[in-house]
Chain A
Amino acid sequence: MELNRIKRIFFLKKNTTKLNICIIILFFTNVAVFLYINLLDFLNTFFPLVAPFSHDSNFIVNNVLPEPYEIPLYLGLIFVLTVILTMFYRFKFTDKIINFINGLPQVIKIVMIAFLVILFIDYVGQFPLKNEIFPFIISREPLYYFKNWFLYIVFIFCSFGGFILFRHLSSKKLSIKLSDACIYIVIIGLGFFLTFEPQFPVSGHDYSFFYGPIFEVASGKTIINQATSQYGFSMIVFFAYLYKLKLFSFITLPIFIWFLYAIEFFLIFYLIYKSSKSLIFGLLAFFSVITLYFFCSYYIPFFEPQITPLRWLPITLFIYLVYKRQEIKSWTMTLSLSVLALWVIDIGLYLFMIYFFMLFILFLSKHINLLALIKVIVRTLISLTLVFIMINSIQFILSGHLINPLPILNKVNQYARSGHGMLPLESRSYLWFIFLVFFASLNMFLLRIGKERKHYWILISSISSFISAIYYVGRSHPVNLFVVSPFFIVAFYAVLSIVVVNLSKKYRLLLYIGLLFLFICLPSFWRRQAMGELFFQRIQKIKNNPFQFELNSKLTLHKSGVRLINDMISDDEILILHPDETYLHYLLGRKNYFNVNPQVAVIDTQSLIAYIKDVNKKCPKRIVVDCRIAEKCQGSNTYFYIDDGRSGFVQLELIKKLNSYCGVTYKPIKCSGTICIEES
């Protein structure tokens, strides 16, 4: 009797659509991972392109070995597999596959699923930076980290409890809208509270890529033409305008970033809460993103603006807009896309890739026809032009010149060609989860359920997750997985939100516990050392005046140097060859002789020469240099730089070129700290 029952369970042939779809998703994901890893190895082994790239003498930053295949292969492979999968659905081939799987005994299906899951886990490997304390040096008692982690989990549990209790109590007394409004306010407050970094620490190096162009544009130069910008575009013009109106100082930027963090985390909560109609699900997404993106990373998250919402928020905002409007073809959407895309250059590129990839899928799946596709593309181009004209008008008011749009991608191009900052990708990586979510959402979209407009945003979020991961594919340091994790989390929860709506209470609870464990408890436990150190530093700073800005303290260290410059040089325009030149210009309030700020953004000889020649002015009599150039550094007490990533390499190259360009030799006459005055 029992044997017959077991036989029935294992050898029963029944229609299991969800299981079949899971098999297809897992199969495609594993195929994508397998092809990516092996094609990359194959190309690197048999067609190595290292020498012609890395030995390019034009690049003054040495010792870089680029990975020319990683990003093109990543994009190309997923593109091809997307086309194949979409065609499978379009020509009903997936129906045949599903019928075939349906015809298999239950046991075979279970074996298939188990095999594909184990294979996927095998590909994924170890959690990034698991149990590592780096870059913190001091290792405290293991119990300290455990207590710290435990308190964090207790705090999250209490927050969940508080929200659930409030919802329960408010459901009787308040309208659902009012209750929601209260929850939103608390979520934003919680976002501010959890992301508050006392003393607002800044990386002098990383911030200079933002401060420099802002200062240049505010002092009357034109962005791109005269003020090279590596990241920002309209963002730089926007802040420069505020700077001009005296509404912006260098201190403002970290505070602004703090606000953006709270906004980003709130948007993620809102999207998931609204789509799943479950408060707990929204809270899970909210705490998952805070845990993985904010606390698991080993930087103090404020430290580097390039990893903060200052750079990445446009993508989240675009997902939010798609969710709100439930369409992507209107003028409102193309105009919004253009505004968001021009905020930061590389994120703008990502946004256009996300948008056009989405349109392409819609076209392939016969959701829009060719004419509609062409119309949208034309509309996008017109919108982009209009927004560009608008930014240009603001720039014209500031500098009296118009922006030349052609060199806008110069920096991206240089970095791509030089391979500067790239790192090889590990074959076992959590990156493959992004493939999994992408294929899951694509499958859901291509199934009938996804063709409803209200599910557009789910596909957009998974495409965003896939495209934003280019950042990690290029610079494959494990920490960058945390940087791109918000989009993955949105996409993952978005896909699950379709499932969660139809789940019974019992299964829902199981899912919640599973997610809490996998996305919050486990990652924070594995990163408890780094989190512990982060909290320790926070507490120290809170005890020691939390609102004393770190940048202010750093700037005062150049006080004597600035006094020296003011005493020795009276010109309005000043030539500074120092790693902290961004901050010195800010303190001095004088114009920059060069059309580049920060100088560390120069990575090639051609630009270096261009910056000197373009200036086309009389060579200054006195210049400000780094004490290392003047060979006058006087010991550790005065050896201070705000730029924590300084190399001094660019300045050394610049002084050589300047000497030959001006036909003179600059000699040191007086020094203070790391700042020296040289005279020709």
Chain B
Amino acid sequence: MENLIYFLNQIRNFILLFVIIIISFSLLILFKPFKYIDNFNTMIKCSDGKEVSSGATIVFTYDGQLDNFNQTKALKVCAYDIVFDYGNQFPYPQNVKFEYLIKTDRYSSWFQAGFVVMLFLILILMILKLSNIHLVKDLYLFYSQNKLVSLCTIVLYMVISLLFFQVFFKSDLQNIYCKNVLQIQQKDFKLSVNLSGKEYPYIEYDWAKAQEKKFLNKCLQQGYVYKE
């Protein structure tokens, strides 16, 4: 009977360990740091030497490549010192060039990701303690019975958990991660305009939303939206 209880306890512990490993890796993926374009500090350097913030001139991009809509805005800033020309009152400028000097900012860090996992582990250990489940103690006992065999079992177990994670969870988590990347970049669009003393135009809000799908796909396929 005692053996049966011991055996059931071990199974329970391994299921718990499996769940803990999967969730810990999920959290690491979700809080993985990434770089995004800091539009307030990113500059547009015109061919006449003038330098303006891309936030103040409302010239935006998710991936560092300006589309036609934003390229025109940058050219008009250089040619006519004009922003918000959404009605195209000024003609498309000819013979004007500019450089797009990107500055980046960072979202999260491995320290922060580690802290999240730590928080999760503390929470789990507290719940287990309140439920009278001595996971750490049991695992230690298991380990001390036959160190080599148990160590191999645990390592093998972790590898299986990771494979399981890779097959069943990673794509969903990547989706959430990518949505977050886009959301953080959109937040920066607005912030950079506001910090320049202007209000974020709806037309830009709509543009940012319309681009979401394209860059979500890019992020899902390549794992990033912007790369230096």
Q: Which A residues lie at the B interface, using CB under 8 A?
A: 30-31, 34, 41, 44-45, 50, 62-65, 115, 118-119, 122-123, 423-424, 426-427, 477-478
B106 to chain A: closest residue by CB = A428
A63-B202, A65-B200 known, 17 other contacts, Cβ within 8 Å: A30-B115, A34-B116, A41-B184, A44-B183, A45-B179, A45-B180, A45-B183, A50-B205, A63-B200, A115-B111, A115-B115, A122-B112, A423-B191, A424-B187, A424-B191, A426-B191, A477-B195
Chain B 181-192 near chain A by CB (<8 Å), digits 1 or 0 = 001100100110
B107 within 8 A of A: yes
Across the A-B interface, give the 5 residue pairs with the lowest CB-CB distance, nearest first. Answer: A63-B199, A423-B194, A45-B183, A119-B111, A424-B191
**Residues on the A chain within 8 Å of B201, using CB:** 63
A30 to chain B: closest residue by CB = B115
- Majority-rule SS of A interface residues: helix
Q: Contact between A119 and B199 (Cβ–Cβ < 8 Å)? A: no
A107 to B191, CA, bound (A): 42
Q: Contact between B115 and A65 (Cβ–Cβ < 8 Å)? A: no
Q: Contact between B119 and A119 (Cβ–Cβ < 8 Å)? A: no
For the complex formed, measure the closest distance between the CB of B166 and the CB atoms of chain A, giving whole angstroms: 24
**Residues on the A chain within 8 Å of B116, using CB:** 34
A31 to B180, CA, bound (A): 20
Q: Contact between A427 and B190 (Cβ–Cβ < 8 Å)? A: no
**Residues on the A chain within 8 Å of B109, using CB:** 122
A31 to B123, CA, bound (A): 12
Q: Which interface residue of A63, A118, A477 has the most chain B CB atoms within 10 A?
A: A63
For the complex formed, measure the closest distance between the CB of A116 and the CB atoms of chain B, giving whole angstroms: 8
**Residues on the B chain within 8 Å of A41, using CB:** 180, 183-184
Report how many A-B pairs have Cβ atoms within 8 Å: 48
For the complex formed, measure the closest distance between the CB of A132 and the CB atoms of chain B, giving whole angstroms: 10
**Residues on the A chain within 8 Å of B200, using CB:** 63, 65
**Residues on the B chain within 8 Å of A34, using CB:** 112, 115-116, 119
A63 to chain B: closest residue by CB = B199
Q: Which B residues lie at the A interface, using CB under 8 A?
A: 107, 109, 111-112, 114-116, 119, 179-180, 183-184, 187, 190-191, 194-195, 199-202, 205
For the complex formed, measure the closest distance between the CB of B110 and the CB atoms of chain A, giving whole angstroms: 10
Q: Contact between A118 and B202 (Cβ–Cβ < 8 Å)? A: no
B115 to chain A: closest residue by CB = A119
A477 to B201, CA, bound (A): 18
**Residues on the B chain within 8 Å of A426, using CB:** 191
Name 9 interchain pairs, CB-CB below 8 A, sorted by A: A30-B115, A34-B112, A41-B184, A63-B200, A63-B201, A118-B111, A119-B111, A119-B112, A424-B187
Q: Contact between B195 and A423 (Cβ–Cβ < 8 Å)? A: yes
Q: Which interface residue of A30, A44, A424 has the most chain B CB atoms within 10 A?
A: A424
**Residues on the A chain within 8 Å of B194, using CB:** 423-424, 477
For the complex formed, measure the closest distance between the CB of B81 and the CB atoms of chain A, giving whole angstroms: 15
A478 to B190, CA, bound (A): 15
**Residues on the A chain within 8 Å of B112, using CB:** 34, 119, 122-123
**Residues on the A chain within 8 Å of B187, using CB:** 44, 424
A426 to B40, CA, bound (A): 12
A35 to chain B: closest residue by CB = B119
**Residues on the B chain within 8 Å of A427, using CB:** 107
A41 to B112, CA, bound (A): 15
A44 to B191, CA, bound (A): 14
**Residues on the B chain within 8 Å of A423, using CB:** 191, 194-195
Q: Contact between B111 and A424 (Cβ–Cβ < 8 Å)? A: no
A44 to B183, CA, bound (A): 9
B191 to chain A: closest residue by CB = A424
**Residues on the B chain within 8 Å of A478, using CB:** 195
For the complex formed, measure the closest distance between the CB of A178 and the CB atoms of chain B, giving whole angstroms: 51
A119 to B115, CA, bound (A): 8
For the complex formed, measure the closest distance between the CB of A290 and the CB atoms of chain B, giving whole angstroms: 26
A41 to B187, CA, bound (A): 10
**Residues on the A chain within 8 Å of B202, using CB:** 63
A63 to B199, CA, bound (A): 6
Given A41-B183, A63-B200, A63-B202: A424 and B119 interface contact (C-beta under 8 Å):
no
A54 to chain B: closest residue by CB = B202
For the complex formed, measure the closest distance between the CB of A96 and the CB atoms of chain B, giving whole angstroms: 11
**Residues on the A chain within 8 Å of B180, using CB:** 41, 45
